[in-house]
Structures are given as C-alpha cells and as structure tokens.
Copies of this chain bind each other. A is one copy, B any other.
Amino acid sequence: MPKRSAARSGPGSARMRDVALRAGVSTMTVSRALKEPGKVSPEMRERVLRAVRETGYLPNHLAGSLSSNRSTTVGLIVPSIDNSIYTQTVKSLSEVLKHSGFQLMIAESGYDPNEEEELITVFLGHRVSGLVLHSTEHRPEAVEKIRNAGVPVVETGNIPDRPLDMVVSYSNRDAAYAMTMHLGRLGYRRIAFASLYSVHNDRSKDRLQGYADALKELGQDYDPRLVVETERGYAAGAEVVARIVQTVPEVDALFCAGDVLAVGALFECGKRGWAVPGRIAIASFDDVDLLRHVSPSVTTLRLPRHDIGQRAARLLISRVIDGAEHLRGSVVDLKFEVIQREST
C-alpha cells in the first residue's frame, strides 16, 4: 500500500509534480525552469513560474539535496555562542553564505573536543557541504570522520601547526607577541599577562607563548608570578589586577588576553584610584567597541573578525560550488593591528 493515501490538499502540499501537472509539462521542465532558467524557453519559464505561484509550491531542499548529492548547508561550531568575539565572524560568515544560497547550521561545543566530535557527526549526518570550526584541537575520531566524509573544512580560531584542511585566522601567538613587544617598546619593564584557562584552548596557549617569546626578545625575565590564568568576566579581570599588584608591586603593565578581562581590570583600577597608565598600564585583546569608549580608552589588538567570516565563507563556497580543489589546505594568515590608546 502506498505510503501516502492519495489526493493531497493539506498543509505543505504542493510538490513539483503538482506544478508540472498544472503547467502541463514534465517535472524536469519545472526543475529546469527553477534552477537553470537559461535552459528553457522564456514562455515555458513564464508558464512554470505561474503554476508555481498558483500552487504555492515550495521546493523541497531535502529531496533536492538527496537526489543531487549536494546540500546547501554549512555547519559552524563555536566554543560558546554567547561570546561577543564570535558574533562578528558568525555574522559575516552567514551573510556571505546566504548570498550564495547556503544556510548556516550552528552549534556550540563548550570548549569540549568530545562535544565537538559529537556535533561534527551530527552535521555530517545532515550532509553539510562544509564545516567551519573555531577550535583547532580535535579528537582523532573527528578528524577521521571529516576525512572520510570528504567535506571541506575551515578552521578559524588560530593558525594550527597541522591544519585539518583550510585555515582562515590570525595567529594568536603573533598577536600576543606584537602587543607584548609594543608594551616593551613603550618602556614597560614588568609586564603581567592574564589569559583565560588554556585547557583545550590552544588560542590561550599560543597567546601565552607569544607573550613569553616577546619577553625573551625584550630581554626581560619570565616571572611566573606575573602570569595568571583565570575564568571569564569583569569580576575576574578586577581580581587579577588586584592580585598582581599585591603580589608583584613593581608590575607596571597588565596585558589581558581578553577584552572583558581588560575592562574588568580597568574598572578595578578606577575604583582603587590607581592611575592608568600611571600606576599600571592596561592592554587588551580584540577591538570591541567598548574599549574605545571607556576612560582611559584601552590599547588593544584589532583582529580581523569580520574578514575571517567572509573569507572562510568564500573559500568554502569556492570549494563546494566551483570545485576549486587547488584551495584544499589553503592557509590564510590574516593581519592584525596594535591600536595604541590612552591606557598604555
């Protein structure tokens, strides 16, 4: 017995077949009129489009993708959805993809590689055309699944030593290095460094590495008391600056590898009456709008968040639509910029 009784009328009705009947043509003609208008005569196109309108036909992407073995979805996995630093990237990514007819499926891994693997599996099950992963640390099983699926991938959070496929990012190590050098050149001699926990977070690890490398270059000692790993939030930033100043009174600068931390630290200085940069200079990571509007305005790194999303999308699209296999393994190391402001 057929799966579906017979006549249709209810919601979600019209199929391509209905349109074809109405227009008195075959479904292939409908399909062509819709997807390759150049391949049908103008009159025919008109006739089909009218039938489409009259029937309220809505193409079924599921069926289309299954049949053509090409989907129009891209999967994005970010560590945390409610982190402002990702939203710019997500926005531009989504815009460019939408423009090419792709839809974004988004999910959050919570900085957990196991969760990431789980999500990758789900996305591959949905037959996404491509994946965008912010993290650059993946479980071997995840890597294998991706390889096996043959899906193009872009990593966007860092420049990994051994990329999965394509990479569009700035170098966290280089950025932290640049800012630390900047502080050194400004004359600061005891530069503290605060970052987020680096467990399963190679971005944090690399930033610390950049800091350490710069200190060496500057001829300054690496003092473990000046390095703090902490959680997120304004309160954490406040606590860090208070603690550091107490532990190492000679400290004259604090480089926070996270915008929220830096602002938290700045506010704390304000409350304690410590001049910034007189008593202690403060530098941040990521040029969120807020940093320009606080007083004193905060020196920071302008990162190419927008470009990352845009270029990641473009690479994926080239691979998927144009089959640009020569792009496989592309590494786009985008530039960042040190923005000198009042706080240093």
Most-contacted residue by chain B among A56, A148, A150 (CB, 10 A): A148
**In contact, A103 and B90 (Cβ under 8 angstroms):** no
Q: Is A73 an interface residue (CB 8 A)?
A: yes
Is A87's beta carbon under 8 Å from chain B?
yes
Q: Is the CB of A103 within 8 A of B105?
A: yes
B293 and A60 contacting across the interface, CB-CB below 8 Å: no
With A58-B145, A125-B60, A293-B235: A95-B108 Cβ-Cβ less than 8 Å: yes
Check B105–A73 contact: CB distance below 8 A.
Answer: yes
Task: Say whether B66 contacts A60, CB under 8 Å.
Answer: yes
CA–CA, A292 and B151, complex, Å: 45
> Cβ of B121 and Cβ of A107 under 8 Å apart?
no
Considering the chains assembled together, what is the distance between the CA atoms of A52 and B84 in angstroms? 40
For A293, what are the chain B residues with a Cβ–Cβ distance below 8 Å? 234-235, 238, 263-264, 267
By a CB distance below 8 angstroms, the chain B residues around A106 are 94, 104-106
- Name the B residues within 8 Å of A122 (CB-CB): 103
- Residues of chain B with a CB closer than 8 A to A290's CB: 234, 263, 290
Residues of B within 8 A of A90 (CB): 81-82
User: Contacts of A59 on B, CB cut-off 8 Å?
Assistant: 125
Interface SS of A by simple majority: helix
Specify which chain B residues have a CB less than 8 angstroms from the CB of A150 in the assembled complex: 10-12
- Do A104 and B103 contact each other (CB < 8 Å), given the known contacts A58-B145, A60-B125, A62-B66? no
- Shortest distance from the beta carbon of A6 to any chain B beta carbon, whole Å: 16
Indicate if A294 sits at the interface (CB-CB under 8 A): yes
Q: Determine whether A190 belongs to the interface, using a CB cutoff of 8 Å to chain B.
A: no
Interface residues of A in 126-150 (CB under 8 A from B): 126-127, 145, 147-150
Given A56-B148, A81-B90, A150-B12, verify A98-B103 contact (CB < 8 Å): no
Q: Using A84-B84, A149-B58, A234-B289 as known contacts, say yes or no to A73 and B126 having CB atoms under 8 A apart.
A: yes
Q: Find out whether the CB atom of B94 lies under 8 angstroms from the CB atom of A125.
A: no
A107 touches B94 (CB 8 A): yes
* Contacts of A252-295 to chain B: CB distance below 8 A: 260, 263-264, 267, 270-271, 289-290, 292-295
* A62–B271 CA distance with the chains assembled, in angstroms: 57
Q: Is the CB of A13 within 8 A of B66?
A: no
29 A-B pairs, CB-CB below 8 angstroms? Answer: A11-B147, A12-B148, A12-B149, A12-B151, A13-B148, A56-B145, A58-B121, A58-B145, A58-B149, A60-B125, A62-B62, A63-B66, A81-B91, A82-B88, A83-B87, A84-B87, A91-B108, A94-B106, A103-B105, A103-B126, A233-B289, A234-B290, A234-B293, A238-B293, A260-B289, A264-B293, A267-B294, A270-B295, A271-B295
Residues of A within 8 A of B (CB): 10-13, 56, 58-63, 65-66, 71, 73, 80-84, 87-88, 90-91, 94-95, 98, 103-108, 119, 121-127, 145, 147-151, 233-235, 238, 260, 263-264, 267, 270-271, 289-290, 292-295
Additional 19 contacts, C-beta under 8 A, given A62-B66, A234-B289: A11-B148, A11-B149, A11-B150, A58-B149, A60-B125, A61-B127, A62-B127, A66-B66, A81-B90, A82-B84, A82-B87, A82-B90, A82-B91, A94-B106, A103-B126, A104-B106, A104-B107, A105-B106, A267-B294
